[in-house]
Chains A and B, each alone.
Chain A
Amino acid sequence: MLLDWAYVAVFAIVGGVMAALPLGVIWLISPRSTYPQKNETYESGVPTIGQAWAQFNIRYYLFSLIFVVFDVEIIYLYPWAVVARRLGPLAFYEILVFLVILVLGLAYAWRTGALEWV
């Protein structure tokens, strides 16, 4: 069990090194020449105006917020899914209650217009 995760850890570390390898290669062989215009932020060829780190649409944030709720609920479904067959009717009705609450949340978000993109 712990060995499994040791394998995953090795994969992540060795994988990170392998992904960084081509970066090392280009650091060694790529040409370097610089002038002020080259390091400008790309904006379709016209001079860059201001920064990109400004205010942006709040909608993106709202969807992420709803997502967090749903994703946490889905995590709870995984352990149930594995034993659903063994536990039988009781587990089914219990998860039904759980899902009804989840759907109520979705219905509420839908009704209040949180899912609309304006």
Chain B
Amino acid sequence: MSWALELLRAVVGTVLIFTGVAVIAAMFGVLLERKISGWIQSRLGPKHVGPQGLLQTIADTLKLLQKENIVPRNADPLIFASAVIVVPLAALLDYVVIPFGATRGGPLIYRDLNVGVLYFAATSSLVVVGILMAGWGSNNKYALLGGLRSAAQMVSYEIPIGLALITVAMQAGSLSTVAIVAAQTTSAPHVWYIITQPISFLIFLTAATAEVNRVPFDLVEAESELVAGYFSEYTGMRFALFQLGEYGEMFAMAAMAVTLFLGGWHAPWPGRPLLHPVLWFVVKLYVLIFVFMWVRWTYPRFRIDQLLNFSWKFLIPLALVNLVVTAFFIMVLRA
């Protein structure tokens, strides 16, 4: 293939993923969140814009587009402005290695990197740079506290995530996401890794909730004490871009959990899948998204010492033990 064609493919792929995530994850995700929170709290949620409130987020986006763009006098203008691009970009970089499904031509993925899992671990933690930039650049006490908390929290929960990812890589013998899906579904035992690695799955899900700063780990934003945390000073579309980054990151984490632990785009049984592979992927993805939202509207917030203790004194030792046990069984059973 000539380089022009490759470039075209890459650009089209990027544009598709960006618009897809912006529409499905951010716009539809926000609506879903509001509907589910309403349902859990015995309310109706948005209802007036469009049928059953379906167009609510579109209306909100249009409103945000018309808002003034305010930069506080004391802020560092360059850092303040560039944080807005760093956060969504870092969240969206995760999608490079996520296989959304399969067609006759092969798996539907932007690029099947041979170090996919490592790449995911790296990009998913890049968000913290953007958040810290926003917190520092705002020169606002709430924002700075939010940014610092996010740094402490996200780095603490990155370690359990890394250790959980390693057990999966060990079982599959590869870091490529497509190969990991194949190892769960097309080769001999047909077992999803949620069955062989339940502890890793739980660690991943818990730490992912912390990585995307959602309740019960939302100290970074903590409306009741920090106003909105690191994005207190952002108005209009800049605020919307942070939301895009946040929801994009949440969907990326859920998609990665589907890929690593729930057999990716394959049906739970071998043979005829009944649904199109992409639909299977979406179904599993939304089950996990629902779990994230369910947790958010059920649990109260942690305190920062509890939060850090939970990671360093419970999750990390547990993940290390889990890693050693997995390594031991792989050595014994390798045959």
A interface, CB within 8 angstroms of B? 1, 3-4, 6-8, 10-12, 14-16, 18-20, 22-23, 25-27, 29-33, 38-44, 48, 51-53, 56-57, 59-60, 63-64, 66-67, 70-71, 74, 77-78, 81-86, 88-89, 92, 95-96, 99, 102-103, 106, 110, 115-117
Does B70 make an interface contact (CB < 8 A)? yes
Partner of A67, one of B144, B156, B304, B334: B156
For the complex, what is the distance from the CA of A24 to the CA of B90, rounded to whole Å? 20
Chain-A contact segment, one of B41-49, B190-198, B210-218, B315-323:
B315-323
Residue contact B334 to A52, C-beta cutoff 8 Å: no
> How far in angstroms is the closest Cβ of chain A from B304?
6
Known A-B contacts A4-B113, A42-B227; A95 and B69 likewise in contact (beta carbons under 8 Å): no
Q: Mark B311-335, 1 if CB is under 8 A from A, else 0.
A: 0110011001001100110110010
B158 in contact (CB, < 8 A): yes
> Which chain B residues border A57 with CB–CB below 8 Å?
148
Interface pairs (20), CB distance under 8 Å: A10-B14, A15-B18, A15-B93, A23-B85, A23-B241, A29-B65, A30-B69, A39-B72, A42-B232, A43-B141, A52-B139, A52-B140, A52-B143, A59-B152, A81-B166, A84-B327, A92-B327, A99-B320, A106-B312, A115-B309
* Residue numbers in B under 8 Å from A32 (CB-CB): 68
**Given A7-B110, A82-B175: A67 and B155 interface contact (C-beta under 8 Å):** yes
Interface string of B91-108 (1 = CB under 8 A from A): 011001000000000000
Complex-state Cα separation, A53 to B324, whole angstroms? 44
Task: Tell me, in angstroms, the Cα distance from A44 to B149 when the chains sit together.
Answer: 20
Q: How many A-B residue pairs have CB under 8 A?
A: 215
Contact indicator B85/A56 (Cβ below 8 Å)? no
Whether the Cβ atoms of B330 and A7 lie closer than 8 Å is no
Please name all residues of chain A whose beta carbon is closer than 8 Å to the beta carbon of B23 when the two chains form the complex: none
Partner of A56, one of B70, B148, B170, B232: B148
Measured CB to CB, the nearest residue on chain B to A43 is B141
Contact residues on B (Cβ < 8 Å of other chain), bracket: 35 or more
Q: For the complex, what is the distance from the CA of A48 to the CA of B18, rounded to whole Å?
A: 38
Choose one: B18, B81, B316; the contact of A106 (CB below 8 Å): B316
- Which are the 6 A-B pairs with shortest beta-carbon distances? A117-B305, A67-B155, A10-B10, A39-B73, A14-B14, A81-B170
Chain B residue at smallest Cβ distance from A107: B317
Q: Which residue of A lies closest to B113 (CB)?
A: A4
**A-B contact sample (18 more), CB < 8 A, given A53-B144, A81-B175:** A7-B10, A11-B17, A11-B96, A15-B93, A16-B89, A20-B85, A26-B67, A31-B66, A33-B68, A40-B73, A41-B72, A41-B74, A51-B74, A52-B141, A57-B148, A64-B151, A88-B334, A110-B313
Which residues of chain A come closer than 8 Å to B284, judged between CB atoms? none
B283 at the interface (CB under 8 A from A): no
Cβ-defined contact, A23 with B238, below 8 A: yes
Taking CB atoms and an 8 Å cut-off, the chain B residues in 197-237 that contact chain A are: 227, 232-233, 236-237
Which residues does chain B contribute within 8 Å of A60, judged by CB atoms? 148-149, 151-152
CB-defined contacts of B240 to chain A, threshold 8 Å: 22
Given the complex of chains A and B, what is the CA–CA distance between A14 and B74 in angstroms? Answer: 31
Asked whether B163 lies within 8 Å of A52 as measured between CB atoms, the reply is no
Tell yes or no: B174 within 8 A of A by CB.
Answer: yes
